[in-house]
Structure 1
Amino acid sequence: MRILIAVLLSVCSVAASAAEIVAGPMPGHSTMRQVKVWVQTDEPALVQLRYRADEGEDWLTSEPEATNSEKANTATVLATGLEPGLHYEYEVLVDDVVQPAEHTQRFVTQPLWQWREDPPDFRFALGSCAYINQPEYDRPGEPYGGDYRIFDAIADAEPAFMLWLGDNVYYREADWNSKSGMYARFSHTRGHEALSRLVTGTHHYATWDDHDFGPNNSDRGYAMREAALEVFNAFWANPDFSAAGTGGVTNYFEWHDVGFFLLDNRYFRQANYRVSGDRTILGEDQVEWLIDALKTSNASFKFVVMGGQFLNSAESSESYINLAPGERRELLDRIEAERIPGVVFLTGDRHHSVLLKMDRYRTYPLHEWTVSPLTAGSHNPGDEAMQYDVDGSLYTERNFGMIEVTGPRNERVASLILHNSDGEEVWRGEIRQQDLQP
């Protein structure tokens, strides 16, 4: 009898101490044959996925990934052996124990449409500047973050994926001088209940800006930039980073017939107000990679994604034209010289949303849609010189964007739709593939 009680107590003790999920699971990069899924546990553990396309089919199981305390117990698990164009249900096993699912757990593979049919229609969400309050570390006074219901509004819209445009978390003074502080900030944001349904319910991609890279307006001189890269990589299931081959979070992915070129505007940039040396934001290697990648791409739309604005003509603060006018001019000239069609910029940072349109001589106009903020404080640019802003597109309250890509091959249309924190439409625009030809 005593032996039985001892065994039962031992089993109960093991069950009570078993690791659990504290954030996620979150689907990330999706291809036709494999998908990444991110997860965070409360203590070190082995994490696996069990998944199937249809109920009744045999379950497939991923290779296990270990979470460890050095990386805040995060892991990205790879689901392989998949088939194109399917929805998969999945379960997460932590130390061989199936974890209860708070929300529906599904991921999708991209369809094999090439040479068979027109590219499928789809829509994706986008936004930047997500501030989650934590009073013990925030500045005194009125909370800077709010309207967290916006994350459920995005989830309700059922986008194919969410594109995070930077400032996806906000490092505070207590965070950015230590790796543990950065891990703690990301863990606090990712584990917030307001984000849970959106995180689990759709795929996610991200680039960064200064507040999820380091201090305000930080640059390549930031001493912790390699630690920041490690932390960012630990919390996003992006395609592999450093597409340019020289560090940073530069990468690329496709969704159906659309290409997304995710740029890094922090890791390579010079100090903002240096008076000697090259004035650069992207750096030579990243610029060369971008031109090569754009030139090679056959995408209907080529969305160039960056944390800060590119086209804005205001020569002030952190605007591209103020900090690196030569590099900005080089990019504009080379996109034109290479006769690259379909280029549209997607940016964040500014705490207001606006569509910019730069008309160009003897070629198509360049568009840039800035979408910001999600839950951080909003900002009205007032009399700032924005000679390219489209009438009626400026919105100065918290918001998120949705882009719907529709239509037959070679006649695709990108509908830009801005929503407020409640998910209500507040502005709409349209960009046609046929209007973006050299």
Structure 2
Amino acid sequence: MKRIFIALFLFVPLFLQAQIKSGPMLGYSEMKEVLVWVQTEKAADVSIQYWEKGNKTVHKTEPIHTEKSTAYIARIIADEVSMGKKYEYEVLVNGKKMAFDYALEFQTQELWQYRKDPPAFSFIFGTCNYVNEEATDRPGRGYGGADEVYAAMHAKKPDFMLWGGDNFYYREPDYTRTGMIHRNDHARAVKSMQPLLANVHQYAIWDDHDYGPNDADRSFPLKYTSLEMFKLYWGNPNFVFPNEGITGKFQWADVEFFLMDDRWNKAPNELNDPNKDYWGAKQMTWLLDQLSTSRASFKVIVNGGQVISPAKVFENMANYEAERTYLLKELKNRKIPGVLFLSGDRHISNLNKLEREGTYPLYDLTVSPMTAGKADAVKQDYNATLVEGTLVQERAFSKIEVTGPLKDRTLTITLFNVKGEVLWTKEIKSNQLK
């Protein structure tokens, strides 16, 4: 009996010592529930307790047991929330409150429809986030840097952040499930990123480097494992094609965001066929149908690569002529108002504007990179769609604000450098996209 008691005495303290590896991270926010993501270092029971700011009524979630098979990740739903409120929260591991040197807060979306004008809101958009790791990086100077950008983004006090692909970079040793878990863990655990994750709701798409290797396409043999990782590590509210890529949608106030997958169905770049797949027919049909029925002031299509630029370089959609032509034709034929694009990939930032006869112009904001290496624009980038003064060839991120009454909303784009200093600003009125 004495030996059993001693063994239990030794075991309990070790069990209680389980700590958080990364997070908490806020996922989606809706009117009636919020997702909170937490990863522990080893198996543990994780829960949160939360309360409306200014109201000490505490709500508690049931513990979720983290396991090695799911990378010790807990995806916790806060479902005792009210609409349009801000909450403070705490994370408990094995019943013990975890200490942080920054605040933990989340919010729910507001019910404004048919009652008043939609609320003003803002979000951060960025792409191409490379986190150095000496053991797997190429020899020489690290490709990543400037992680002060996370604090600069957090300081802008956005409602949410939208990651536009290449949110981390798989390396050559990573192409097993074990390797993919390691890469996701390594990128998510950056210390300077944690306050941003804990207090700003996060949404994401992927591009080639966080789907597979450079320029990866539909033939990538580990695509289903990549999808498993994406669903495990991100907190998007839905996936419209079960087990067929990351395509999804969410709404914030009066703006709808269409999260496109430019990898799952994409034909190889080298395929010499003007009709080759980019998004693929099924995804294209879904998008156009959704846009046709949407009443959103702005309909934001988020894609890994550039859509509007006609430059047939790298992996711009212009290389996939048939789909791009069809998309532009249908947007006009269906008389869909309010469409604009967000993209990344290029390691440059710019705003492209495509003038269209008989209808409004289409904008495509490219923001890239955040922490990955910068690149130089190529001569094809200097085409008729490039908005003068918007081409930036340094690390950057954007803040996008939506303000004004429902009948006259204004979307203001500001591009910042990694220190949070303004590089340029552009306003787009909803009434200009009709």
**Interval containing the TM-score (normalised by the shorter chain):** over 0.9
Distance change (3 Å), C-alpha of 1:63 and 1:351 = same
**1:151 aligned onto 2:150:** yes
Distance change (3 Å), C-alpha of 1:53 and 1:353 = same
From 322, 328, 340, the counterpart of 2:324:
328
Structure 2: give runs of 5+ residues left out of the alignment.
none
Superposition deviation, residue 113 in structure 1: 1.1
Superposition deviation, residue 101 in structure 1: 2.6
Letter in 2 for 1:200: A
Aligned to 2:256: 259
Aligned to 1:367: 363
5 Å matches for 1:329-348?
A: 329-348=325-344
Letter in 2 for 1:217: D
- Provide Cα deviations, 1:177-231, integer angstroms capped at 9, x if missing partner: 2011011001001101121111112110000000000000001100000000000
- Provide Cα deviations, 1:273-308, integer angstroms capped at 9, x if missing partner: 123695011011100110111111111011100111
5 Å matches for 1:265-280?
A: 265-275=262-272, 278-280=275-277
Superposition deviation, residue 382 in structure 1: 3.5
Number of aligned positions between the proteins: 432
Superposition deviation, residue 75 in structure 1: 2.1
- For 1:154 and 1:133, the matched residues in 2 are separated by 20
Letter in 1 for 2:390: S
Checking the alignment, whether the CA contact within 8 Å between 1:354 and 1:389 is kept in structure 2 is yes
Superposition deviation, residue 11 in structure 1: 4.5
Distance change (3 Å), C-alpha of 1:246 and 1:280 = farther
2:92 counterpart SS class: strand
- For 1:408 and 1:137, the matched residues in 2 are separated by 51
2:406 counterpart SS class: coil
2:355 counterpart SS class: strand
5 Å matches for 1:7-26?
A: 10-11=8-9, 13-18=11-16, 19-26=18-25
Distance change (3 Å), C-alpha of 1:431 and 1:348 = same
- Provide Cα deviations, 1:79-122, integer angstroms capped at 9, x if missing partner: 10211000111111222222223321111000111122111111
Aligned to 1:140: 139
**1:90 aligned onto 2:89:** yes
Checking the alignment, whether the CA contact within 8 Å between 1:132 and 1:169 is kept in structure 2 is yes
**1:213 aligned onto 2:211:** yes
From 322, 344, 349, the counterpart of 2:345:
349
Superposition deviation, residue 15 in structure 1: 2.4
Structure 1: give runs of 5+ residues left out of the alignment.
none
- For 1:55 and 1:14, the matched residues in 2 are separated by 37
Letter in 2 for 1:351: H
- For 1:149 and 1:246, the matched residues in 2 are separated by 36
Superposition deviation, residue 396 in structure 1: 0.6
2:48 counterpart SS class: strand
**1:384 aligned onto 2:410:** no
- For 2:293 and 2:248, the matched residues in 1 are separated by 15
- For 1:303 and 1:46, the matched residues in 2 are separated by 38
Aligned to 2:75: 76
**1:428 aligned onto 2:412:** no
5 Å matches for 1:36-435?
A: 36-175=35-174, 177-241=175-239, 243-245=240-242, 247-275=244-272, 278-322=275-319, 324-385=320-381, 386-435=383-432
Superposition deviation, residue 236 in structure 1: 0.4
- For 1:271 and 1:31, the matched residues in 2 are separated by 37
Superposition deviation, residue 50 in structure 1: 1.2
- Provide Cα deviations, 1:318-355, integer angstroms capped at 9, x if missing partner: 22111x11001111111111111000100011101000
- For 2:46 and 2:160, the matched residues in 1 are separated by 23
Indicate the percent of aligned positions where both proteins have the same amino acid.
41
Letter in 1 for 2:313: S
Superposition deviation, residue 245 in structure 1: 4.9
1:151 counterpart SS class: helix
Deviates more, 1:58-67 or 1:85-94: 58-67
Superposition deviation, residue 388 in structure 1: 0.6
State TM-score, norm by structure 1: 0.95
Checking the alignment, whether the CA contact within 8 Å between 1:63 and 1:78 is kept in structure 2 is no
Checking the alignment, whether the CA contact within 8 Å between 1:75 and 1:234 is kept in structure 2 is no
Checking the alignment, whether the CA contact within 8 Å between 1:71 and 1:183 is kept in structure 2 is no
- Provide Cα deviations, 1:51-81, integer angstroms capped at 9, x if missing partner: 1114553321223333211221112111102
- For 1:44 and 1:278, the matched residues in 2 are separated by 49
Checking the alignment, whether the CA contact within 8 Å between 2:227 and 2:243 is kept in structure 1 is no
Checking the alignment, whether the CA contact within 8 Å between 1:244 and 1:289 is kept in structure 2 is no
Letter in 2 for 1:431: I
- For 2:290 and 2:155, the matched residues in 1 are separated by 34
Distance change (3 Å), C-alpha of 1:261 and 1:56 = closer
- For 1:277 and 1:354, the matched residues in 2 are separated by 26
Letter in 2 for 1:199: L
Checking the alignment, whether the CA contact within 8 Å between 1:103 and 1:201 is kept in structure 2 is no
Letter in 2 for 1:48: S
- Provide Cα deviations, 1:331-390, integer angstroms capped at 9, x if missing partner: 111111111100010001110100000000000000000001000001121412433110
Superposition deviation, residue 49 in structure 1: 1.7
Checking the alignment, whether the CA contact within 8 Å between 2:35 and 2:235 is kept in structure 1 is yes
Letter in 2 for 1:64: P
- Provide Cα deviations, 1:128-186, integer angstroms capped at 9, x if missing partner: 000010011000011111111000000111110110000001000111x2011011001
- For 2:68 and 2:243, the matched residues in 1 are separated by 28
Deviates more, 1:334-343 or 1:64-73: 64-73
